Amino acid sequence: MHFEFATASRILFGPGVVKEVGGLAAKMGKRALVVTGKAAADPSLLLRVLVENSVAYRLFEVPGEPTIQLVEEGTRLAREQNSEVVIGFGGGSSIDTAKAISVIATNPGKLMEFLEVIGSGKSISQPGLPVIAIPTTSGTGAEVTRNAVLTSPEHLMKISLRSPLMIPRVAVVDPELTYSLPPSVTASTGMDALAQLIEPFVSSRHNPLTDAICLEGIRKAARSLLKAYEHPHDFAAREDMALASLFGGLALANAGLGAVHGFASPVGGMFTAPHGAVCARLLAPVMAVNFQALSARDRDPNDYRIPVREIRSRYLEIARILTGKEGVKIDDGIAWLEQLCQALNIPGLADYGVTPGDIPDLVEKAGIASSMQVNPVKLKPSELQLILEKAL
């Protein structure tokens, strides 16, 4: 057995911990770039504690999912201000933007040189500006991951900027910041969190640490996602989902993901669709097709990246946790996910403009995505097509 586990140097979790950010930031520098966005909670408390601790700040707003151009603009601002710390306050878009700005500001070269797939994939060699990540949604787990997902409208793709040096210095997770989330955002980000717990658990890179984190996170999301959607101010439910999101970030950063996120990248690049909603719609179809692949008689044994018996056992454990019942089948877990999507009013991919004619292009792009390479089964193009057909 051989594995690595890396995460933020420090994680603060609990109601009201955002009040501690002023003191934390002051120890890192006196000039902060605060990156926030439309999904963020009211930042006034954060800004007040910065001022109280003599930390000057500049605001940089992320209007939507981060683009290459947006990160370049934020990097120029950070350099002009001589920022000493970057604070990401908001959803995954804000935090990913903050992480990207922090390393591009300190590494020589242009952003494109460091990007996967469309760039040179140059390694980030210098530590970035220290980042304090404060999530205001419960979904991406970006506060403890080592990458930033950026959109290139020119290439119609989402690509990753990736380095261990991008892991935030401090993750500050305050469940109270999620009270104001609209139900639709609670639903889509919560399903993203659930996907980021299920996929690492069956990933070919799973390890004992990520297994334990995933199982506990799945339990929390299964019992609390619908409750948080229906009762936004239920603190126990919000706390569970904040932990589920955090656990998902810890797991995916160390075990990888799978076909759900392999597809989410090209879908998000080609269509204006919220990442979480895309993942939500793909989760049950991916689980179903992976399960079907376990029984395919013409399957090449080399297509299984972990033993078939283990894959089956792991999906059975997921089904037991989701349904809260013993003696269930994998199909029962798939049905539970489908029913949850219906209860959360998750739309099909067709609602975002995806048509059957787009499937071949999406299958081709997803096939080379990094997340697809750790899916427990190497899926055939016909199986990838079936996933999208089910998700429409």
Could you tell me if 221 and 280 are in contact, meaning their C-beta atoms sit under 8 angstroms apart?
no
Domain C-terminal end among 178, 198, 229: 178
Instruction: Give the mean model confidence (pLDDT) for residues 304-332.
Output: 96
pLDDT at 159: 81
CATH number at residue 33: 3.40.50.1970
Indicate whether 193 belongs to any domain.
yes
Indicate whether 5 belongs to any domain.
no
Residue 270 has pLDDT above 70, yes or no: yes
One domain, residues 117 and 263: no
How many domains is the chain built from?
2
Indicate whether 130 belongs to any domain.
yes
Indicate whether 146 belongs to any domain.
yes
Domain C-terminal end among 178, 195, 221: 178
Please give, one letter per residue, the 3-state secondary structure of the chain. Answer: CCCCCCCCCEEEECCCHHHHHHHHHHCCCCEEEEEEECCCCCCHHHHHHHHHCCCEEEEEEECCCCEHHHHHHHHHHHHHHCCCEEEEEECHHHHHHHHHHHHHCCCCCCHHHHCCCCCCCCCCCCCCCCEEEEECCCCCCHHHCCEEEEEECCCCEEEEEECHHHCCCEEEECHHHHCCCCHHHHHHHHHHHHHHHHHHHHCCCCCHHHHHHHHHHHHHHHHHHHHHHHCCCCHHHHHHHHHHHHHHHHHHHHHCCCHHHHHHHHHHHHCCCCHHHHHHHHHHHHHHHHHHHCCCCCCCHHHECCCHHHHHHHHHHHHHHHHCCCCCCHHHHHHHHHHHHHHCCCCCHHHHCCCHHHHHHHHHHHHCCHHHHHCCECCCHHHHHHHHHHHC
Could you tell me if 164 and 124 are in contact, meaning their C-beta atoms sit under 8 angstroms apart?
no
Cross-strand bridge partners of residue 31: 56
One domain, residues 192 and 80: no
Which domain does 217 fall in, by range?
Answer: 183-391
- pLDDT, one tens digit per residue, over 47-87 is 999 999 999 999 999 988 899 999 999 999 999 999 999 99
pLDDT band with cut points at 50, 70 and 90 for residue 226: very high
CATH number at residue 249: 1.20.1090.10
One domain, residues 195 and 66: no
One domain, residues 221 and 368: yes
pLDDT at 240: 98
One domain, residues 166 and 241: no
Indicate whether 2 belongs to any domain.
no
One domain, residues 258 and 141: no
Instruction: Give the mean model confidence (pLDDT) for residues 339-353.
Output: 96
Instruction: Give the mean model confidence (pLDDT) for residues 247-273.
Output: 94
Task: Tell me how crowded residue 182 is: count the other CB atoms within 10 A of its CB.
Answer: 10
Which range is least confidently modeled, 133-137, 152-156, 366-370?
152-156
One domain, residues 201 and 306: yes
pLDDT at 250: 96
One domain, residues 53 and 134: yes
pLDDT band with cut points at 50, 70 and 90 for residue 39: low
Residue 18 has pLDDT above 80, yes or no: yes
One domain, residues 222 and 164: no
Indicate whether 89 belongs to any domain.
yes
One domain, residues 44 and 129: yes
Indicate whether 131 belongs to any domain.
yes
pLDDT at 390: 96
Residue 153 has pLDDT above 70, yes or no: yes
One domain, residues 279 and 209: yes
Which range is least confidently modeled, 25-34, 96-105, 263-272, 285-294?
263-272
Residue 186 has pLDDT above 70, yes or no: yes
Residue 218 has pLDDT above 70, yes or no: yes
CA torsion, points 379, 317, 144, 231, in degrees to nearest 10?
A: 110
One domain, residues 324 and 255: yes
Residue 160 has pLDDT above 90, yes or no: no
Backbone angles phi, psi at 173, to 5 degrees: -110, 105
pLDDT band with cut points at 50, 70 and 90 for residue 40: low
Q: How many residues does the chain have?
A: 392
Question: What is the C-alpha separation between 366 and 232, in angstroms, rounded?
Answer: 35
For the chain, what is the mean pLDDT?
A: 93
Indicate whether 272 belongs to any domain.
yes
pLDDT band with cut points at 50, 70 and 90 for residue 269: confident
Domain C-terminal end among 146, 178, 210: 178
Could you tell me if 138 and 245 are in contact, meaning their C-beta atoms sit under 8 angstroms apart?
yes
pLDDT at 9: 86
Could you tell me if 263 and 362 are in contact, meaning their C-beta atoms sit under 8 angstroms apart?
yes
